[in-house]
């Protein structure tokens, strides 16, 4: 550490970045001659780490930031802990060069959004991942919710399912709204209308998914579409608690294709988010904005992929 603090040669760039980032995160003041190094820091704000998709995103984004000589400052929200607004204050104090949000208040219609104005006033480059409320002047990298819903609906309908249940995020969650609206359109076009009795909302935990899926199963669902893989694992547990076997009696589709979904029992059919491409695009866009290059705030859409495994089968 002393070699870094004293600006001595012979220190690897990765080591130097790690030491300086540790100083920033722990609240220690950098030596004056190293304060310019703060321009190498980028805030990475995640809503949680329990869902394995977010650590995977952090790994992808961190890797691409490193290729540009940048170091992420990881900010993770916890229930009852530090708020997103507090993290923005922290990142501004640390004089980060930009911020990437991979989920957060910007995706919730009913949450306060005034704290984002502090970023725009400072003209700080910002990129958000996945759908957001309208009106934010940030670059947006988005997995296409319409395509995801259509792929999942078409898969279950092709297997003969007509009573399709939905275990989604919060009702005010913008990607949830988009997925449900697309499912309604696609179902109507295929003469398999969405039954409101089979639409359930949750908080994206496995336990919440289990409770929501249990209600959909009680109302006659033979196939269930879930807005995340943890929700899908909860749905499988709910089916077993109801004495049903997946996929013999009921089919389950997840979303994300997060780690180990090929190894669960049964291996999960899911919609894969292209997180490698999305993470790379988020970093490339942020770096361009940091360099003063104008980038559009229109959504940069990425198409997901249906990955068929053994949690889906023809309707019994």
Question: What is the chain's percent helix, strand, coil content, to nearest 5?
Answer: 45, 20, 40
Q: In sequence order, which residues have a C-beta less than 8 Å from that of residue 231 and are 6 or more positions away? A: 167, 202, 204, 205, 206, 208, 209, 212, 213, 254, 255
Tell me if 76 is assigned to some domain. Answer: yes
Q: Torsion angle, CA of 214/219/222/223, rounded to 10 degrees?
A: -60
CB atoms within 10 A of CB 19: 17
Q: What average pLDDT does the segment 234-252 reach?
A: 98
| Co-location of 212 and 130 in the same domain | no
The pLDDT value recorded for residue 38 is: 56
Coil, strand or helix at 217:
helix
| Co-location of 171 and 253 in the same domain | yes
| Co-location of 138 and 6 in the same domain | yes
Q: Is the pLDDT of residue 25 over 90?
A: no
Name the least confident of 31-35, 182-186, 238-242.
31-35
Plot region of 176 (φ>0 → left; ψ -120 to 50 → alpha; else → beta): alpha
| Co-location of 12 and 92 in the same domain | yes
The pLDDT value recorded for residue 77 is: 80
The pLDDT value recorded for residue 81 is: 75
The pLDDT value recorded for residue 298 is: 85
Do the beta carbons of residue 95 and residue 66 sit within 8 Å? no
| Co-location of 138 and 243 in the same domain | no
| Domain with 84 in it | 2-143+274-302
Name the least confident of 54-63, 123-132, 246-255, 288-297.
288-297
Exposure class string for 129-154: b at 16+ Cβ within 10 A, else e: bbbbbeebebbbbbbbbbbbbbbbbe
> 37: domain CATH number?
3.40.50.2300
Tell me if 314 is assigned to some domain. Answer: no
Q: Is the pLDDT of residue 35 over 50?
A: no
Exposure class string for 106-122: b at 16+ Cβ within 10 A, else e: bbbeeeebebbeebeee
| Co-location of 138 and 164 in the same domain | no
Tell me if 308 is assigned to some domain. Answer: no
| Co-location of 164 and 128 in the same domain | no
Q: What average pLDDT does the segment 37-42 reach?
A: 76
Q: pLDDT: is 76 or 27 the higher one?
A: 76
| Co-location of 121 and 231 in the same domain | no
Q: What average pLDDT does the segment 164-180 reach?
A: 97
Name the least confident of 23-32, 56-65, 225-234, 284-293.
23-32
Q: pLDDT: is 312 or 17 the higher one?
A: 312
| Co-location of 55 and 138 in the same domain | yes
Do the beta carbons of residue 192 and residue 164 sit within 8 Å? yes
- Quote the DSSP letter at residue 273: P
- Quote the longest CA-to-CA distance of the chain: 71
Q: What is the mean pLDDT of the chain?
A: 90
The tokens 């989604």 sit on which residue? 168
Tell me if 310 is assigned to some domain. Answer: no
Tell me if 202 is assigned to some domain. Answer: yes
How many Å apart are CA 251 and CA 221, to the nearest integer? 9
| Co-location of 110 and 233 in the same domain | no
How many Å apart are CA 294 and CA 301, to the nearest integer? 18
pTM for this model (two decimals): 0.86
Tell me if 131 is assigned to some domain. Answer: yes
| Co-location of 208 and 278 in the same domain | no
- How many independent structural domains does the chain possess? 2
- Which of 141, 146, 74 has its CA nearest to residue 286? 141
Q: Is the pLDDT of residue 312 over 90?
A: yes
pLDDT in tens, 268-297: 999 999 999 999 999 999 999 999 888 777
C-alpha distances out from residue 230 to 35, 73, 261, Å: 42, 26, 10
The pLDDT value recorded for residue 92 is: 95
The pLDDT value recorded for residue 6 is: 55
Name the least confident of 17-21, 119-123, 161-165, 212-216.
17-21
Tell me if 311 is assigned to some domain. Answer: no
How many Å apart are CA 279 and CA 128, to the nearest integer? 10
Tell me if 165 is assigned to some domain. Answer: yes
C-alpha distances out from residue 158 to 89, 176, 234, Å: 50, 23, 24
| Co-location of 125 and 161 in the same domain | no
Q: What average pLDDT does the segment 246-266 reach?
A: 97
């Amino acid at each position: 550490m002393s070699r870094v603090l004293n600006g001595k040669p012979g220190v690897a760039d990765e080591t130097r970045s790690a030491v300086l980032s540790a100083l920033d995160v722990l609240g220690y003041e950098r030596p004056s001659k190293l304060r310019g190094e703060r321009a190498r820091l980028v805030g990475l704000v995640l809503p949680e780490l329990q869902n394995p998709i977010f650590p995977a995103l952090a790994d992808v984004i961190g890797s691409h930031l490193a290729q540009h000589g940048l170091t992420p400052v990881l900010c993770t929200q916890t229930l009852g802990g530090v708020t997103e607004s507090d993290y923005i204050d922290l990142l501004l104090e640390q004089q980060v060069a930009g911020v990437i949000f991979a989920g957060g208040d910007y995706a919730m219609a009913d949450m306060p959004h005034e704290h984002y104005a502090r970023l725009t006033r400072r003209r700080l480059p910002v990129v958000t991942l996945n759908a957001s409320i309208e009106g934010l002047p940030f670059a947006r990298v988005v997995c296409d919710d319409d395509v995801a819903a259509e792929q999942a609906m078409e898969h279950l309908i092709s297997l003969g399912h007509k009573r399709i249940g939905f275990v989604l995020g919060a009702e005010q969650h913008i990607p949830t709204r988009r997925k449900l609206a697309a499912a309604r359109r696609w179902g109507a076009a295929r003469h398999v209308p969405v039954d409101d009795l089979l639409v359930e909302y949750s908080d994206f935990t496995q336990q919440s998914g289990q409770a929501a899926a249990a209600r959909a199963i009680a109302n006659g669902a033979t196939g269930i579409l879930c807005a995340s893989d943890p929700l899908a694992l909860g749905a499988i547990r709910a089916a077993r608690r109801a004495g049903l076997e997946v996929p013999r009696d009921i089919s389950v589709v997840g979303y994300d294709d997060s780690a180990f979904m090929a190894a669960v029992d049964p291996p999960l059919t899911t919609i894969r988010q292209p997180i490698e491409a999305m993470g790379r695009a988020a970093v490339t866009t942020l770096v361009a904005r940091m360099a003063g290059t104008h980038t559009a705030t229109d959504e940069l859409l990425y198409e997901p992929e249906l990955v068929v495994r053994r949690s889906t089968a023809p309707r019994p």
